[in-house]
């Protein structure tokens, strides 16, 4: 029998061709299972990229896994995924809970961790999944806040619409209220997304990079036109909402402006944020007879779960469907200063 000397595990041994192939495979598998946390996480994130998952989804999982490995290092546990045991995982989760994180945030970490290990097992990068018995922490029902009509009146009256910034901020509030779009969607609105002749706005990259159409009332359309005239043409900037320096507004800018108007309007007991506008859109849609299926499409939800929650909170007679609906048009009257 022909023997050949090969290196295996740092030691030179004499083996047959068949044994050599077996040893090479075992050595390769051993190297794979010695992957660091960062190397394994990179493979996991790359797999999601191949599947076409959105950048924000990939970043969300990446941040959750970074938070977990931070605890592993803090507790001086092994950070190679193959050597993390069920007991270690449980202690990591307990550390997160005792660290003051909200149940929702802990559940986010758990969700990413479970998906991470499911991937590693499927790719034969680890032998066992230490998260199989791991359950998400029970959470209290999230309180969904929405503005009252009185609060909306006060907010919409707060900006000075005779100045560019005030007109811009007023337009932002109307658009958030009339479409229910997310903050990330709002700041990524481009001029080419506006189909004002059809009272329409195209959201090309919603959550999960999903495309959808939303609609605006004549009042919001006319305000948008007025704002766009004040905005003017800005070379190299295709975004709808800009600051004084003609740069695109970021999410933090928008939130700061809304917080400012919340204080100016002396609102209490409600967070003035883009998501509160989104909840208010859903509330007014449901209470005025809008059906949950069209609401799901307008909000860009992939399932009816959140919409069912809205219906449970604010639903009335859903068989009375309105042919046309706009939260803005249903406010008391136009706001002028």
Q: 163-175 pLDDT, tens per residue?
A: 999 999 999 999 9
User: What does the pLDDT look like over 95-136, one tens digit per residue?
Assistant: 998 888 888 888 899 999 999 999 999 999 999 999 998 887
233 and 279 belong to one structural domain: yes
Among residues 137, 168, 190, the one where a domain terminates is 137
Q: In the prediction, which pLDDT does 23 show?
A: 44
Task: Give the residue from 242, 240, 268 showing the smallest Cα distance to 257.
Answer: 242
**Domain total in the chain:** 3
Task: Give the residue from 186, 210, 219, 167 showing the smallest Cα distance to 296.
Answer: 210
140 falls in which pLDDT band (50, 70, 90)? low
- Report the pLDDT averaged over residues 225-252: 93
Number of other CB atoms surrounding residue 285 within 10 Å: 24
182 and 309 belong to one structural domain: yes
What phi and psi, each to the nearest 5 degrees, are found at residue 20?
-60, -45
| Total-model pTM | 0.60
Q: In the prediction, which pLDDT does 212 show?
A: 81
192 and 57 belong to one structural domain: no
CA gap 240, 232 in Å, rounded? 10
Q: In the prediction, which pLDDT does 12 show?
A: 52
Q: Is the model's pLDDT at 176 over the cut of 80? A: yes
For residues 139 and 177, the model is more confident at: 177
123 domain residue, yes or no: yes
CA gap 248, 187 in Å, rounded? 8
288 domain residue, yes or no: yes
Lowest mean pLDDT among 4-18, 61-75, 246-260, 270-284: 4-18
Q: Which domain holds residue 212?
A: 149-314
Share of the chain above pLDDT 90, in %: 49
Q: In the prediction, which pLDDT does 297 show?
A: 76
310 falls in which pLDDT band (50, 70, 90)? low
103 and 228 belong to one structural domain: no
């Amino acid at each position: 029998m022909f023997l050949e000397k090969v290196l295996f595990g740092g030691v030179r041994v004499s083996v047959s061709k068949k044994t050599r192939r077996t040893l090479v495979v075992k050595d390769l598998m051993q190297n794979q299972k010695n992957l660091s946390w960062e190397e394994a996480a990179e493979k996991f994130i790359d797999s999601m990229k191949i599947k076409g998952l959105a950048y924000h989804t990939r970043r969300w999982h990446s941040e959750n896994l970074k938070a977990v490995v931070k605890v592993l290092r803090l507790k001086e546990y092994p950070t190679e995924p193959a050597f993390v045991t069920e007991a270690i995982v449980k202690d990591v989760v307990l550390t997160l809970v005792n660290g003051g994180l909200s149940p929702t945030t802990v559940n986010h970490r758990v969700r990413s961790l479970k998906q991470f290990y499911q991937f590693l097992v499927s790719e034969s990068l680890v032998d066992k999944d230490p998260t199989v018995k791991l359950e998400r922490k029970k959470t209290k029902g999230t309180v969904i806040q929405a503005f009252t009509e009185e609060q909306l009146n006060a907010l919409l009256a707060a900006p000075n619409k005779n100045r560019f910034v005030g007109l811009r901020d007023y337009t932002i509030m109307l658009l958030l209220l009339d479409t229910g779009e997310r903050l990330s969607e709002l700041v990524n609105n481009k001029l080419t997304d506006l189909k004002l002749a059809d009272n329409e706005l195209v959201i090309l990259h919603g959550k999960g990079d999903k495309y959808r159409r939303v609609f605006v009332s004549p009042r919001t359309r006319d305000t948008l036109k007025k704002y766009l005239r004040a905005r003017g043409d800005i070379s190299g900037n295709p975004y709808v909402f800009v600051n004084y320096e003609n740069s695109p507004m970021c999410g933090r800018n928008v939130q700061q402006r809304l917080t400012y108007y919340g204080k100016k309007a002396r609102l209490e007991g409600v967070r003035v944020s883009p998501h509160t506008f989104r909840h208010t859109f859903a509330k007014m849609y449901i209470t005025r007879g809008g059906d949950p299926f069209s609401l799901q499409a307008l909000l860009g939800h992939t399932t009816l779960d959140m919409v069912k929650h809205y219906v449970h909170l604010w639903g009335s007679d859903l068989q009375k469907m309105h042919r046309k609906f706009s939260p803005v048009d249903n406010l008391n009257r136009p706001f002028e200063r």
